[in-house]
Amino acid sequence: MKIETLAVHAGHRVDPATGAVAPPIYLSTTFERSQDGSYPHGYDYIRSNNPNREALEKCLCELEEGVAAAAFSSGAAATMSVFQAVGAGNHVIAPKDTYSGTSSLLREILAPWGLEVSFVDMTNATKVQEAVQSNTRLIWVETPSNPLLKITDIEKICAIAHQAQALCVCDNTWATPMGQNPLKLGADLVVHATTKYLGGHSDVLGGVAIAKVEDEFFKRVKKIQKTGGAVASPFDCWLILRGIQTLPYRMRAHSENAFKVAEFLNDHPKVEVVHYPGLKQHPGYEIAAQQMQLFGGMLSFQVKGGRDMAFAVVAKVLLFTRATSLGGVESLIEHRASIEGPETKTPDNLLRVSIGIEHVSDLIDDLTQALE
Ligand SMILES: *Cc1c(COP(=O)(O)O)cnc(C)c1O
The model's pLDDT over 239-292, given as tens digits with 9 standing for 90+, comes to 999 999 999 999 999 999 999 999 999 999 999 999 999 999 999 999 999 999
CB-ligand 1 contact for 171 (6 Å cutoff):
yes
CA angle 340, 342, 344 (to 5 degrees): 50
Last residue of a domain, one of 244, 264, 279: 244
pLDDT confidence band for 127 (50 / 70 / 90): very high
| CATH number of the domain within which 9 lies | 3.40.640.10
Ligand 1 centre to CA of 331 (Å) is: 17
Looking from the CA of residue 77, the nearest atom of ligand 1 is 9
Last residue of a domain, one of 215, 244, 273: 244
Residues 194 and 266 in one domain: no
- Cα–Cα distance, 50 to 33 (Å, whole number): 15
Residue 195: its H or E element: none
- Mutate which of 99, 236, 300 for ligand 1? The one with the most ligand atoms within 8 Å of its CB, which is 99
CB-ligand 1 contact for 352 (6 Å cutoff):
no
pLDDT confidence band for 35 (50 / 70 / 90): very high
CB-ligand 1 contact for 50 (6 Å cutoff):
no
Residue 344 has pLDDT above 90, yes or no: no
Task: Determine the pLDDT at residue 67.
Answer: 98
Residues 95 and 75 in one domain: yes
Looking from the CA of residue 196, the nearest atom of ligand 1 is 1
Task: Determine the pLDDT at residue 133.
Answer: 98
Residues 52 and 118 in one domain: yes
Domain count, the chain: 2
Residues 220 and 260 in one domain: no
Residue nearest to atom 8 of ligand 1 (CA): 75
By three-state DSSP, how is residue 264 classified? Answer: helix
CB-ligand 1 contact for 74 (6 Å cutoff):
yes
pLDDT confidence band for 351 (50 / 70 / 90): very high
Residues 237 and 253 in one domain: no
In this prediction the pTM is 0.97
Residues 84 and 183 in one domain: yes
Residues 142 and 285 in one domain: no
pLDDT confidence band for 342 (50 / 70 / 90): confident
The model's pLDDT over 153-202, given as tens digits with 9 standing for 90+, comes to 999 999 999 999 999 999 999 999 999 999 999 999 999 999 999 999 99
CB-ligand 1 contact for 142 (6 Å cutoff):
yes
Task: Determine the pLDDT at residue 339.
Answer: 87
Using CB atoms within 10 A of its CB, is residue 116 exposed (0-12), middle (13-18) or buried (19+)? middle
- Cα–Cα distance, 346 to 87 (Å, whole number): 31
For the chain, give the mean pLDDT. 97
Last residue of a domain, one of 191, 216, 244: 244
Give catalytic residues, as residue numbers: 47, 99, 171, 196
- Cα–Cα distance, 27 to 344 (Å, whole number): 41
Ligand 1 centre to CA of 92 (Å) is: 19
CB-ligand 1 contact for 195 (6 Å cutoff):
yes
The model's pLDDT over 94-124, given as tens digits with 9 standing for 90+, comes to 999 999 999 999 999 999 999 999 999 999 9
Looking from the CA of residue 174, the nearest atom of ligand 1 is 13
Residue 367 has pLDDT above 90, yes or no: yes
Residues 270 and 225 in one domain: no
- Cα–Cα distance, 360 to 159 (Å, whole number): 39
Question: Residue 170's domain spans which residues?
Answer: 3-244
Task: Determine the pLDDT at residue 70.
Answer: 98
Residue nearest to atom 4 of ligand 1 (CA): 75
pLDDT confidence band for 341 (50 / 70 / 90): confident
CB-ligand 1 contact for 205 (6 Å cutoff):
yes
- Looking at residues 290-298, what average pLDDT do you find? 98
Residues 195 and 212 in one domain: yes
- Cα–Cα distance, 171 to 257 (Å, whole number): 23
- Looking at residues 130-148, what average pLDDT do you find? 97
CB-ligand 1 contact for 232 (6 Å cutoff):
no
Ligand 1 centre to CA of 75 (Å) is: 5
- Cα–Cα distance, 364 to 333 (Å, whole number): 13
- Cα–Cα distance, 53 to 73 (Å, whole number): 11
pLDDT confidence band for 340 (50 / 70 / 90): confident
Looking from the CA of residue 325, the nearest atom of ligand 1 is 1
| CATH number of the domain within which 265 lies | 3.90.1150.10
- In percent, the amount of the chain with pLDDT more than 70 equals 100
Report H helices in the chain.
Answer: 3-9, 51-64, 75-86, 100-104, 111-113, 125-131, 154-163, 176-179, 216-228, 234-244, 247-266, 285-291, 306-316, 336-340, 360-371
Ligand 1 centre to CA of 193 (Å) is: 5
Residues 221 and 333 in one domain: no
The model's pLDDT over 66-93, given as tens digits with 9 standing for 90+, comes to 999 999 999 999 999 999 999 999 999 9
Residues 268 and 235 in one domain: no
Looking from the CA of residue 327, the nearest atom of ligand 1 is 15
Ligand 1 centre to CA of 103 (Å) is: 11
Residues 233 and 289 in one domain: no
